[in-house]
Amino acid sequence: MSTAIPEAQSSPTLAIHPLQDGLIAVAAAIVALIALYAVFLDQGQLLSPVLGKVAYTANYLHEFAHDGRHLLGAPCH
């Protein structure tokens, strides 16, 4: 008398190609650098194409990230 042992069901795995991993890493690094620039260095340059000269005087990104700059120890004024 033989009993059949059911085969282990394998769950489908999502395979990501190494080139795709590299592109995701590069895209993430670019986004991170833009975010760091916006938080630490931007004085209106990023929004000036959209808002014009008011981007320099109102300095929306600077004011939005102002407390975060101080929390991270970055001088801003």
Domains of the chain, by residue range, sit at: 18-71
**Both tokens assigned to 19:** 């080139």
pLDDT given for residue 29 in this prediction? 96
Q: What is the mean pLDDT of the chain?
A: 77
pLDDT average, residue stretch 50-74: 79
The separation between the first and the last C-alpha atoms of the chain, rounded to the nearest angstrom, is: 85
Rounded to whole angstroms, the Cα distance separating 39 from 65 reads 6
- What is the maximum alpha-carbon separation in the chain? 87
Rounded to whole angstroms, the Cα distance separating 53 from 60 reads 12
pTM of the model: 0.55
pLDDT single digits (tens) 24-61 = 999 999 999 988 887 777 777 788 888 888 877 887 77
